[in-house]
Amino acid sequence: MSRAADSAVLAERYGPVRRVPSRRLRTVLISLALVAALGLGIWVAVEGPSSLPESKDVGYDIVSDSEASVDFEVTKEFDSTARCLVQVLDDSYAVVGATTVTLGPHTGDDVSERTQSFTADLRTERRGVTGVVESCWTVEA
């Protein structure tokens, strides 16, 4: 049997032979993927964190079985509006009270003035043991 006949029999039995990309093509594709990943990483490092508000829990006060207040700070851009989800938790970390606080644009001249302090008063279903800011996000205008 000739070599061509052997190839035809094998192709009929197992399907056509797969072509493997050349070493040069693989190198080019990997290089492009690395450049794209590096570009994405730089974009996230430069643009990402500055546009997202950051929160910091400062303190809380459990006023009664049905009331609490949470003190927190938010750092955001001067002209942006943010919303923060503030929660009161019980000793099993169940949410017993929650509210969403909207923080509008504010004025300032210095980067240090991007941080503002807030207090959220909440009603609770039962006595809580701690108050936290769960998350903050930017609201599209």
pLDDT (tens digit, 9 = 90+) per residue, 86-108? Answer: 999 999 999 999 999 999 988 88
Average confidence (pLDDT) over 66-86: 94
pLDDT at 137: 93
**Is the pLDDT higher at 73 or at 109?**
73
pLDDT of residue 47: 64
Report the half-sphere exposure of 1 (CA within 13 A, side-chain side). Answer: 8
Each residue of 5-60: pLDDT tens digit? 777 788 788 887 777 888 899 999 999 999 999 998 887 777 655 567 999 999 99
- Per-residue pLDDT band for 141 (boundaries 50, 70, 90) equals low
For residue 110, what pLDDT is reported?
81
- Parallel, antiparallel, or unpaired for β 54-64 and 95-103? unpaired
Query: Each residue of 50-79: b (16+ CB within 10 Å) or e?
Result: eeebebeeeebeeeeeebbbbbbebbbeee
Residue 1: pLDDT over 80 = no
104-134 confidence digits (pLDDT tens): 988 887 888 889 999 999 999 999 999 999 9
Question: According to the model, what pLDDT value does residue 136 have?
Answer: 94
